[in-house]
Amino acid sequence: MQIFKVGGVVRDRLLGIPVTDVDRVVVGATTEEMLAQGFRPVGADFPVFLHPKTGEEYALARTERKSGRGYGGFTFHASPDVTLEEDLIRRDLTINAMAEDDQQNLTDPYHGQRDLEARILRHVSPAFAEDPLRVLRVARFAARYASLGFTVAPETLELMRQLSESGELQALTAERSWKEISRALIEDQPQVFIQVLRDCGALKELMPEVDALFGVPQPEVHHPEIDTGLHTLSVLEQSALHKQPLTVRWACLLHDLGKGLTPEEEWPRHIAHEHTGLKLIKAVNERFKAPKDCQELALLVGKYHTHCHRALELKASTLLELLQSFDVYRRPQRFEEFIGACEMDARGRKGLEQRSYPQADYLRGAAQAARVVAVQPLLEKGFKGPELGEALKRERLKALKAYKDKASA
Ligand code: ATP
Ligand code: MG
């Protein structure tokens, strides 16, 4: 049997980028031989094994053929007579379809190295169209390598467009899609992921609610970039520049969905978009089965981002309601993420990226003022049950009024 490193590890070594995980392909072996050598089989779908000592992945060389809709509709053929070239041709991009042996001798039948040098993401063969997930993968690689100058080959983008139009993207499971989306959002240029999906018509299929924001105007005084879609891309870009976590980036992507529902007669204003957007945010959350923390933050940011922008003008009672809604006493981290997303929203405006955002520290201070109100004295006064809750609220309101007075003095 012959063993080769394959895929991302070869690509990233040639790019001079640190390699995170190492995939290997085994040519000329059977499952029985792998098991006899102590390899542990993983998953029932493919002939993939874990090395008994290192735990790294070794896959038997295989060919694939599409036999139905979706990812389940694949039949594969793994046997000792499948060659390295046959295994490489089923891969998505030429830069991912290179292999090397222990001496770093390169096998590159589909000219991955040439495309690497030309900074091009190009599909290997027309079989690309057999797995719609590849549309998301290409967009994700575009986001990851945008800073190196990579772009999608026009003929690959055309294939992605055909795949999107065919409706095949609807056959993707939430789990597979979310894995790509979440990985793409934590790349350095997540906005490129959305842009590429839009360019090939996939955004309309996957997240029509986000696609609908393009072409929707906002008032130029607040939003010099005008277009709500472009604004969303900028907010996402800021979220990466400021190293925000996935939860915040997801909330950034969805915060303005309500603006896509505004009747044209009302443009460029978007009265109550925070409220109208909630059902759309919920729909997108559920479509991809986003993790609970992502879902929750996206809804809260959607509902309250304008409150954050107006923080300095809010009455003490409104401030208190905001803090209560976030359960800021028990969930300080979530409130911090909310502030982060709102700050990205403010910075994601053309020409205003560097403007200070005093609302952030102001809200942090307000949360702190409410948080330090002690329960003990109220207990000592004999309050309990719902009355204790009311008394605590009154004290917090007092504290917030004092905070406001001090801040405006
Ligand atoms: P990363 O650095 O994100 O791990 P990678 O290229 O190693 O990038 P993996 O998802 O680990 O990506 O997949 C390993 C290799 O398997 C890829 O380089 C590619 O050759 C192939 N591959 C993975 N998923 C697909 C797919 N859906 N269609 C075609 N080829 C795929
Ligand atoms: Mg990998």
Query: pLDDT tens-digit profile of 223-240?
Result: 999 999 999 999 999 999
What is d(CA 62, CA 91) in angstroms, rounded to the nearest whole number?
Answer: 11
First to last CA, the chain: 78
Lowest mean pLDDT among 58-72, 136-150, 291-305: 58-72
The confidence band for 358, taking pLDDT boundaries of 50, 70 and 90, is very high
pLDDT at 73 over 90: no
CA nearest to 172, candidates 294, 288, 46, 91:
288
Mutate which of 10, 23, 115 to test ligand 1's pocket (most atoms within 8 Å of Cβ)?
23
106-107 vs 48-50, strand pairing mode = unpaired
pLDDT of 375 reads: 93
Q: What is 1-111's CATH number, 1.10.3720.10, 3.30.460.10, 3.10.129.10, 3.30.1360.70? A: 3.30.460.10
Dump pLDDT digits (tens) for 175-226. Answer: 999 999 999 999 999 999 999 999 999 999 999 999 999 999 989 999 999 9
Q: How far is the CA of 19 from the centre of ligand 2 (A)?
A: 9
What is d(CA 229, CA 210) in angstroms, rounded to the nearest whole number?
Answer: 7
pLDDT of 43 reads: 73
Q: Atom 11 (ligand 1): residue with closest C-alpha?
A: 8
Q: Atom 3 (ligand 1): residue with closest C-alpha?
A: 8
CA nearest to 156, candidates 183, 188, 182, 118:
118
What is the mean predicted confidence (pLDDT) over 383-388? Answer: 94
Global pTM? 0.95
The confidence band for 109, taking pLDDT boundaries of 50, 70 and 90, is very high
Domain ranges in the chain?
Answer: 1-111, 243-353+361-369, 372-409
Ligand number nearest to the C-alpha of 71: 1
Phi, psi of 383 (to 5 degrees): -70, 140
pLDDT of 20 reads: 84
Q: Atom 9 (ligand 1): residue with closest C-alpha?
A: 8
Residues having CB within 6 Å of any atom of ligand 1: 7-8, 21, 23, 91-92, 96-97, 131, 133-134, 137
Q: How many residues does the chain have?
A: 409
Lowest mean pLDDT among 53-67, 100-114, 197-211, 274-288: 53-67
Mean pLDDT of all residues belonging to the chain: 95
CB-CB contact of 68 with 34 (8 Å)? no
CB-CB contact of 220 with 226 (8 Å)? yes
